[in-house]
Amino acid sequence: MADRYLRLTGTAPGRFLTRRLGLPQPAPLRRWSAERPSLDGPVLRLTAGEPAPDRPDSPHSPAPYAAVVLDATGIAEPAGLRAVHTSLHPLTAGLAPSGRVVVLGTRPGDGDLHRAAAQQALEGFVRSLGKKIGRGRTVQLVRLAPGAAPDSTLDFLLSPKSAYVSGQVIEVGPAPGQPPPGDRRRTALVTGAARGIGEAVAAALARDGAHVVCLDVPSAGDALGAVAARLGGTALALDITAADAGERIAAAVAGLGRGHDSGLGGGLDVLVHNAGITRDRRLSRMDGDRWDAVLEVNLGSVLRTTGHLLAAGALNDHGRIVATASIAGIAGNAGQTNYAASKAGIIGFVRALAADEALRERGVTVNAVAPGFIETDMTAAVPLFIREAGRRLNSLGQGGLPVDVAETVAWLASPASGGISGQVVRVCGQSLLGA
């Protein structure tokens, strides 16, 4: 459903009216396209405390940079935070629309109390700046462990692909080796791929070169087949809650590599758990069947199928597991005790599995995306005033699109993202609740 308010604020009368009434003024977001894959303008890289250079044609105005990357890893005490102000104070107001600010820090828990306090302070700074910087701009904190290579993370955050990701804290560690080079195409499985976010995820992975196995329930077979055909992938009509779902997935993926001309190896390189349902009711009115259905689809099936695929050796070394949580699993949501419980469970699953030493040694990463208000058929059915509140209660003042979640999944699923694991990245425009 079209966001008419966003269109209104893009007109001169709309801007005047909303400004006079003190209403949100969301800016259209720059999203990735093949024709415009990069932000417009230069990227400025500074060390905290280093003054920003003046714009060449005006000695008094900062340049309209597309992005600023500030290295604050050297800040070791609270007094050093003044250096962050020194560098960014003259820049943020003049940053280009849909611009990016990325602050580089370190993990605060190293035993040095002064360093820990100063580095944790960066999180409050980043989240606050993101809520006020405006004009479609985003602000992130990237914490670097010793030996970390943040290239894939910076490539994502400094591109239009991260349009609806803001106010996030992302930790990057050293990658345990890299996948061996070769001509073999990667194989990805996306559950719930017939429509909405799952379809967008499948499209993004296919664009990035993967052969995508698109999985959804048999009742969605026609739509599923159309998606798989459009992407040159494989359709797998299957109820993910079936007891033998993991076994059937493993068999289907193994069969893909048997053709001499397939260019595919055996096993999965990317596993995306996206399938999910809602059955909303206040707890006092929620029957057991509604509770069970949501927990089984959203959480139980994820645990069961992942466990089978890992036990069967169906996930390749340097594999990527990405599960779909939700902002509801972080902040809760009225009438969604079952849904919020299932999505919080996904976060627990991701953090526990990412800590598995055997998987870490194999270079397997496990992460989650946590969407906020995303414009889908499901949210289009939400009553008007609740829908408008969902759209506006974030720093960007608008709902996200399925492609915003898909681009985040594609970044986490990349072979170059081996240093990112155990992370929950919110794709919520920096929701004002729980984020």
Residue 13's pLDDT band, with cuts at 50, 70 and 90, is confident
pLDDT of residue 260 exceeding 50, the answer is no
Q: Would 31-172 and 187-427 be classified into the same CATH topology?
A: yes
> Tell me, what's the pLDDT at 183?
63
* Residue whose pair of structure tokens reads 């020194």 in the numeric block: 86
pLDDT of residue 255 exceeding 90, the answer is no
CA distances in angstroms from 391 to 306, 353, 397, 407, listed in the order given: 33, 33, 6, 20
Average pLDDT rounded to a whole number, residues 386-407: 92
Given the candidates 3.40.50.300, 3.40.50.720, 3.40.710.10, 3.20.20.70, the CATH classification of the domain at 187-427 is 3.40.50.720
Per-residue model confidence as pLDDT tens digits over 117-157: 999 999 999 999 999 999 999 999 999 999 999 999 999 99
Structure token pair of residue 243: 């007891």
pLDDT of residue 11 exceeding 90, the answer is no
Per-residue model confidence as pLDDT tens digits over 194-206: 999 999 999 999 9
Task: Report the topology of domain 31-172.
Answer: Rossmann fold (3.40.50)
Q: Where are the domains of the chain?
A: 31-172, 187-427
Per-residue model confidence as pLDDT tens digits over 50-99: 988 865 445 455 558 999 999 999 999 999 999 999 999 999 988 999 99
Residue positions counted in the chain: 435
> Tell me, what's the pLDDT at 158?
98
> Tell me, what's the pLDDT at 435?
54
% residues pLDDT > 70 (the chain): 94
Exposure pattern of 142-175 as b/e (b: 16+ CB <10 Å)? bbbeeebbbebbbebbbbbbbbbbbbbbbbbbeb
Average pLDDT rounded to a whole number, residues 321-327: 97
Average pLDDT, the chain: 92
CA distances in angstroms from 88 to 56, 76, 91, 125, 368, listed in the order given: 18, 18, 5, 11, 31
Per-residue model confidence as pLDDT tens digits over 350-391: 999 999 999 999 999 999 999 999 998 877 777 777 788 889
Among 16-25, 111-120, 124-133, 183-192, name the one with the lowest average pLDDT: 16-25
Per-residue model confidence as pLDDT tens digits over 421-433: 999 999 999 998 7
164 catalytic, yes or no? no
Average pLDDT rounded to a whole number, residues 301-311: 97
Report d(CA 394, CA 397) in Å as an integer: 5
